Amino acid sequence: MKLLSYETSQTMLSLLQVNSSRSQNVPLSSSLGRVLSEDIIAKHNDPEFPTASMDGYAVIHSDLELCKISVIGHNPAGSNEQRTLISGECIKTFTGSMMPHGADTLIQIENVTLEDGAIIINESVAKGSSVRPVGEGYRAGDVLIKKGTKIGFAEIGVMAALNHVMVKVALKPRVAVISTGSEILDLGEHSDNPSQIRSSNNYTLAALFEQAGAEVVQLGTVGDDKNLIMHTFQDALLSADIVVSTGGVSVGDYDFVKDIVPRVGAEVVYKGVAIKPGKHILVAQKEDKFILALPGFAYSSTVTAILYVLPLVAKMLGKKSAYKVVAAKLSEDFKKRSRLTEFSACNVVIEDGEYFVNFKDKKIGSSAILTNMLNECALMITGEEDGDLSEGTFVNVILLESF
């Protein structure tokens, strides 16, 4: 069987139709980490009127040439200042206050001496100094935050300033996670059989999907029982948008998942991609739901989940992309291990604004070494046509902290 190229598999994945229009309104205080499902547009200018940006005296700039300027009152922040200055007058004005009518400059307290109800100018300032002009922050009609943005602290602050009590966010896609294999022991289980291994895939992937903005349904582990696996898939499809399994997709006698997927009514989009790790990946669709069967080795399942599940999650959330890919320069020689498109765990450092790749403490071995993804790991991409690469070569790298 000829394997699909990585590029073709990604194109086919991007063409799958998903429901990205589902949304809900949540309180602003509960929106951190969610994804906006509408643009946030300014309804007014910021500021709406000229505003003092420091404590000082609101003056007419040409009056700074006078020996003294009379102080006719105070203008605290929040007061609705209605007085209009005339030449020879100033008003003490505080940070955030509306500038009095007629004033065009604020001279800071440090630049003057107060004497007998008037200020003496010790050091002049430029016209317009310490005054925020109308619309300095934004103008009415400006799109301040775009649909598809993941809400962080800055987005919270801007929306609070715009009085958004409720926020329209994308509904979290539900992802069901299943680990298959009789050799798998779930957390807390005990066995005297030394050949059994501790389950980690379902916990790794659940954390990965939650970090990407999904709601996870954790279905634990299922042994190598064809009927039990099939019923687990059927139940998962009732409640989840995406069902993700690990193990059972290769060519062994107990690799049942690849046979079960068609039996639950799903159409296989493709099986087998020319990538390392994860070439036995299977992508299937049942109506508006998806099944992704991933390899069982920990590193393989994690990498394929990043490459194939996260783009579907991002699409359902209305995001433009699942992760950030950057060009980086190799800091050392790289030996390619196959003729497939490879995804190698690496370290990325930034020097003088440029990305560099190295492989310090990254072990070379099987696709089971999940510890290679510790310590702010990234994934370096080398294509089917690439061979060994020399130090200084530019490569594409997936930044894993950009979910």
| DSSP 8-class letter at 372 | G
pTM of the entire structure? Answer: 0.85
HSE-CB at 215 with a 13 A cutoff on CA atoms is 9
Residues 6 or more apart from 137 whose CB is under 8 A from it? 46, 47
**What integer pLDDT is reported at residue 184 of this predicted model?**
63
- pLDDT (average), residues 5-10: 97
Residue whose structure tokens are 């290769």: 250
- pLDDT (average), residues 21-35: 95
Asked whether residue 186 carries a pLDDT value surpassing 90, the answer given is: no
E strand intervals along 235-387: 242-246, 267-271, 275-276, 282-286, 289-294, 324-330, 341-351, 354-358, 378-382
- pLDDT (average), residues 384-394: 96
**What integer pLDDT is reported at residue 302 of this predicted model?**
94
Asked whether residue 396 carries a pLDDT value surpassing 90, the answer given is: yes
**What integer pLDDT is reported at residue 185 of this predicted model?**
59
Asked whether residue 188 carries a pLDDT value surpassing 80, the answer given is: no
Q: How far apart are CA 347 and CA 334, in angstroms?
A: 13
Residues 6 or more apart from 315 whose CB is under 8 A from it? 14, 16, 18, 20
Four-point Cα dihedral 64, 65, 70, 75, nearest 10:
-10
Under the banding of pLDDT at 50, 70 and 90, the label for residue 198 is low
Q: How far apart are CA 303 and CA 373, in angstroms?
A: 10
Q: How far apart are CA 282 and CA 346, in angstroms?
A: 26
- pLDDT (average), residues 85-90: 97
- 41-63 pLDDT, tens digit each: 999 999 999 999 999 999 999 99
Q: Are 306 and 245 in contact (CB under 8 A)?
A: no
Q: How far apart are CA 325 and CA 348, in angstroms?
A: 12
Give the H/E segment covering residue 132. strand 131-132
Give percent above pLDDT 90 in the chain. 79
**What integer pLDDT is reported at residue 201 of this predicted model?**
85
Q: How far apart are CA 185 and CA 201, in angstroms?
A: 11
**What integer pLDDT is reported at residue 192 of this predicted model?**
59
128 φψ region: left (φ > 0), alpha (ψ -120 to 50), beta (else): left
**What integer pLDDT is reported at residue 254 of this predicted model?**
44
Residue whose structure tokens are 């590193």: 299
Four-point Cα dihedral 148, 154, 159, 165, nearest 10:
100
Q: Average per-residue pLDDT in the chain?
A: 91
Say whether the peptide bond before residue 277 is cis (omega within 30 degrees of 0). Answer: yes
Instruction: Give the residue among 370, 331, 372 at the shortest CA–CA distance from 351.
Output: 331
Task: State the pairing for strand pair 289-294/282-286.
Answer: antiparallel
Asked whether residue 250 carries a pLDDT value surpassing 80, the answer given is: no
249 against 370, higher pLDDT: 370
Which residue(s) pair with 270 in the sheet? 283
- 152-174 pLDDT, tens digit each: 999 999 999 999 999 999 999 99
Asked whether residue 8 carries a pLDDT value surpassing 50, the answer given is: yes
- 305-357 pLDDT, tens digit each: 999 999 999 999 999 899 999 999 999 999 999 999 999 999 999 999 999 99
Query: Which of 70-84, 176-190, 314-328 is predicted with the least confidence, judged by mean pLDDT?
Result: 176-190
- The angle formed by the CA atoms of residues 258, 262 and 267, to the nearest 5 degrees, is 105
**What integer pLDDT is reported at residue 253 of this predicted model?**
47
Q: Are 260 and 228 in contact (CB under 8 A)?
A: no
Which residue(s) pair with 222 in the sheet? 180
